[in-house]
Structure 1
Amino acid sequence: MPAKHDTSDDEASETPHYHGHRERLRERFYAAGPDALTDYELLEMALFAAIPRRDTKPLAKALLKKFGSFAEVVHAPVARLREVEGVKDASINQLKLLAAAAGRIAKGEIRRNIALSSWNDVIDYCRTGMAFADKEQFRLLFLDKRNQLIADEVQQTGTVDHTPVYPREVIKRALELSATALILVHNHPTTPVSITLDHARSF
């Protein structure tokens, strides 16, 4: 008589090792908060949805090794992300979703408060959307009389070291929005990540 086959043991042995790791990460995230996780662990979790059947730790570490930080990974150009072995469309979509969400959250925080009351506020706000751009942008922040943000628009996108500016279009748009103040900002993709006071002017 053939021996009875124990399916539960087989199923347990076939369960990928990273399943337990994922659950432990989730539990630590919910119990202790995001500060309890390293950058690569947060990146692992961000990739869970894109890569449901493979360990995401090696890819998370490879991305951080190439780009340096969590923020630089999610804001990296698509072409450069594809240079990392194992990065497919699903992973890129997930990373770009995170970048878009971060931008929306930053805009929401600004609009909910007395916005842009200092140059530090301007720099912090712009860094979220511009610091990791691979092309130079000319960005316009339109404000009302209380310095609250009415609109945030990229007027022009140029090359890595040049972007054209059309004053007539800037003034036209400010009048359309009834803005009482205007901040012009541009980035320098060829220099280390930063947006400084010299790159912003109010009118």
Structure 2
Amino acid sequence: MARKGAGRNGNALSTDSFAVTDPPGLAEASAHYIGHRERLRERFRQAGADALPDYELLELVLFRAVPRADVKPLAKSLIDRFGSFAEVVAAAPGRLREVKGVGDAIVTELKLIGAAVERVTRGKVRERPVLSSWSAVLAHCRAAMAFAEQEQFRILFLDKRNQLILDEVQQRGTVDHTPVYPREVVKRALEVAASAIILVHNHPTTPFSITLDHAQYH
């Protein structure tokens, strides 16, 4: 900012006398992160998400919440804390806020991504995929519950062709316990006219997996 005034003798003072300049290095730093953002967006447009490591994909999400700062250190901190992009998105808001630099705006953006993934997954369910093998069951359940922080008891309702009618979370529990009520399971299966059901529950404290003990076909 510059200002013009007059001295005691009435002579005009140079505007340079009151010039305010940015601190040394600030303009260069601003140009650096702006250029980095554009380069990262261009890489995403040209090569897609598979060309980016998790922390760079997370940077793209953080750009919206933090419009004027270098978010690479924060993205790396989140990945270091939670393990992967998917686990950052799935983390509870309270745990996210434990990371320095994470506030409401960032939590909202991450939860928005999580909600979008869930909505897309539900859209695929409406296409009624065929779950005729355990690999298909595992793939479906991994997308739906791989990073859940509490135990879930899910029921996959199938028709006579093994097409998925409905994927429903019937109960949520603690980190190591979920109550199950057989009467409610049978009642719901009759309501949706299922020919078969697959019962699934997860173990949040261990790597995601489903075994024959945890998924039963009836």
1:165 aligns with 2:180: yes
CA distance in 2, matches of 1:80, 1:69: 15
Who is 2:131 aligned against? 116
Quote how far apart the aligned CAs of 1:130 are: 1.4
Who is 1:104 aligned against? 119
Who is 2:100 aligned against? 85
Structure 2 residue corresponding to 1:19, chosen from 22, 27, 34: 34
Quote how far apart the aligned CAs of 1:133 are: 1.2
2:143 alignment partner AA: T
1:134 aligns with 2:152: no
TM-score computed with the length of structure 2 as normaliser: 0.82
TM-score computed with the length of structure 1 as normaliser: 0.88
CA distance in 2, matches of 1:79, 1:21: 30
2:121 alignment partner AA: A
Q: Is the 8 A contact 1:185 1:200 kept in 2?
A: yes
Percent of aligned pairs with the same residue?
66
CA distance in 1, matches of 2:208, 2:182: 27
Which structure has the larger Rg?
A: 2
Q: For residues 80-135 of structure 1, what are the alpha-carbon distances to aligned partners after superposition, in whole Å with 9 as ceiling and x for unaligned?
A: 21211111122112112222222332333344364212111111111122121111
Higher relative CO (Cα under 8 Å, sequence separation at least 6) belongs to 1
Quote how far apart the aligned CAs of 1:69 are: 1.0
* SS across alignment from 1:151: strand
Who is 1:94 aligned against? 109
Quote how far apart the aligned CAs of 1:149 are: 1.6
Q: For residues 8-48 of structure 1, what are the alpha-carbon distances to aligned partners after superposition, in whole Å with 9 as ceiling and x for unaligned?
A: x98x9378231111111111110111122111100000111
Any unmatched runs of 5+ in structure 2?
Answer: 1-12
CA distance in 1, matches of 2:213, 2:101: 40
1:22 alignment partner AA: R
User: Aligned pairs, how many?
Assistant: 198
Quote how far apart the aligned CAs of 1:75 are: 1.2
* SS across alignment from 1:133: coil
CA distance in 2, matches of 1:27, 1:166: 52
Q: Runs of at least 4 residues of structure 1 off by over 6 A? A: none
- Quote the RMSD (CA, aligned, Å): 2.2
Q: Is the 8 A contact 1:137 1:154 kept in 2?
A: yes
Who is 1:191 aligned against? 206
